[in-house]
Amino acid sequence: SLQDKLDKALQNIQGRGKITEINVAETVKEIRRALVDADVNYKVAKDLTKRVQDKALGQNVLTSITPGQLMTKIVHDELVELMGTTQEGINLSDKPTIILIAGLQGSGKTTFSGKLANYLKQKRSKNPLLVACDVYRPAAIDQLTVLADQVGVTIYKEIENKNPVEISQNAIQFAKENKHDVVIIDTAGRLAIDEAMMNEIRNVHQAVKPTETLFVVDAMTGQDAVNTALAFNHVLDYNGVVLTKLDGDTRGGAALTVRSVVHKPIKFISTGEKMEALDLFYPERMADRILGMGDVVSLVERAQEQFDEEEAKKLHKKIAKNEFGFDDFLTQINQIKKMGNMKDLMGMLPGVGKAIKDVDINDDAFKHIEAIIYSMTPEERRKPSVIDMNRKKRIAKGAGRKLEDVNALMKQFEQMSKMMKMMQGPQGKQLMQMMSK
């Protein structure tokens, strides 16, 4: 992956006390190769590495005590620059705001439409209407219906109507009559760009005059992503790009190139199949991610979203009174689960992304823990100290797990309780203050 290769290139000079101009040139060449291999457009890669080289030599990387770090910082800053520097939000000023979703079939349009509705409802207090305009694939309409149901928003569809212009116009009328302030139109895509599809989306675009047109592209399609992005932009002159499937084994090239070739901002990134797996695009964070510096800010944000102040107060009291039990542990697990896929979450931790790239982590680990807790009695959950060897054996049997698993969980639980108790003491306060700075 791009991250590995950049890492390797930077290792050339990392940890070296003294480096030469030749070392820099070699590293820069490796970086360029890594970028091109990751499907970054050749010219974009060349320009970027040229700037890196100039900066490196200009900023005295040669005499720096930590040339590796300085070089990493230069590359990081250039990547940020390439991806557009700032976060670009979406314009929701029209009443109703009309958002047209375009892209190839399989790019993740329908999934994104659901996620966007969820995001607008949860975080922007909107009342979105989802519109199914894929008139060719009944399955696509079913899929959107399921998603609408899941996130609790209304869907507009006309099963018999095969005219997407009519459907979207009717949908906007429906939205006005039913107080929907945002209309999200999910359109039909083809497997490849073709004349008919382009005409159709152009017609819808002209008819509904969207506030925002978002182009959805699968980050795994590499250089093709950029070509598709260009073709759609030619027809629609869209406002922004949505990069999907960034959770997979993607080559980061698309994220790096789209902005500089198409001159349109990336607005959202999609990192999984769950409705919550949607993030605003921050160039800074993406650069961190590419360079394996982790994305702690996103992680903390996701944690905060799940944070319920009332619950937290209750929890604090319980910990202070030594009443933290397995039911509370379950609640904690559920909160973590709501934050998204485990592997994604861990990938956001600095240095961890790389380490777990090939490891199969799934959410099943939680299932085993839950099974063990569910096979405890209410008393045992409240007062784990009563769990003796006999009870452990019974619990293991009930959960279909080994005794060792129960022991491991008990141990984990004790450590967690201790740690939480400590966090509430003076040391914990210090730690919290440090972290919030």
Assign 3-class secondary structure to 35-75. HHHCCCCHHHHHHHHHHHHHHHHHCCCCCCCCHHHHHHHHH
CA 132 to chain centre: 25
Binding pattern for the stretch 114-133 against ligand GDP, x by CB under 6 A and - elsewhere: --------------------
CB 240 within 8 Å of CB 103 = no
Stretch that binds ligand GDP, among 245-253, 304-312, 317-325, 399-407 (CB under 6 A): 245-253
149 binds ligand GDP (CB under 6 A): no
Question: Counting contacts by CB under 6 A, is residue 110 touching ligand GDP?
Answer: yes
- Would you tell me how many other CB atoms lie within 10 Å of the CB of residue 37? 14
Q: State the residue for tokens 């598709």.
A: 228
Instruction: Calculate the alpha carbon distances from 327 to 316, 394, 403 in Å.
Output: 14, 18, 20
Smallest distance, ligand GDP to C-beta of residue 206, A: 22
List 7, 73, 106, 371, residue binding ligand GDP (CB under 6 A): 106
DSSP state of 134: -
Stretch that binds ligand GDP, among 239-247, 285-293, 304-312, 345-353 (CB under 6 A): 239-247
Helix axes 364-374, 326-338, angle to 10 degrees: 160
263 alpha-carbon distance from chain centroid: 22
Q: Which CB atom, from 106 or from 428, has the smaller least distance to ligand GDP?
A: 106
Among 88, 247, 276, 328, interactor with ligand GDP by CB under 6 A = 247
187 annotated ligand-binding residue: yes
Q: Would you count residue 341 as binding ligand GDP (CB under 6 A)?
A: no
279 known member of a binding site:
no
Smallest distance, Å, CB 240 to ligand GDP?
16
Q: Does 105 bind ligand GDP (CB under 6 A)?
A: yes
Instruction: Decide: is 27 part of the binding site for ligand GDP (CB under 6 A).
Output: no
The count of residues in the chain is 437
Q: Considering the rule CB under 6 A, would residue 344 count as an interface residue with ligand GDP?
A: no
Residue 133 CA to residue 137 CA, distance in Å, equals 10
| Residues in 271-300 at the binding interface with ligand GDP, rule: CB under 6 A | 271-273
Q: Is 9 left (phi over 0), alpha (psi -120 to 50) or beta?
A: alpha
Give dist(CA 410, CA 21) in Å, integer: 56
103 binds ligand GDP (CB under 6 A): yes
Does residue 206 contact residue 169 with C-beta atoms inside 8 Å? no
Which of these segments, 47-55, 164-172, 242-250, 375-383, binds ligand GDP (CB under 6 A)? 242-250
For strands 97-103 and 182-187, give the pairing: parallel
Q: How far is the CB of 436 from ligand GDP (least distance, A)?
A: 31
Establish if 221 lies at the interface with ligand GDP (CB under 6 A): no
Would you state the structure tokens that stand for residue 230, as one six-digit string? 């260009």
Q: Is 110 annotated as a binding residue?
A: yes
Q: Where is the binding site for GTP, in residues?
A: 103-110, 186-190, 244-247
* Binding region for ligand GDP (CB under 6 A): 103, 105-111, 143, 189, 244-245, 247-248, 270-273
Q: Where is the binding site, in residues?
A: 103-110, 186-190, 244-247
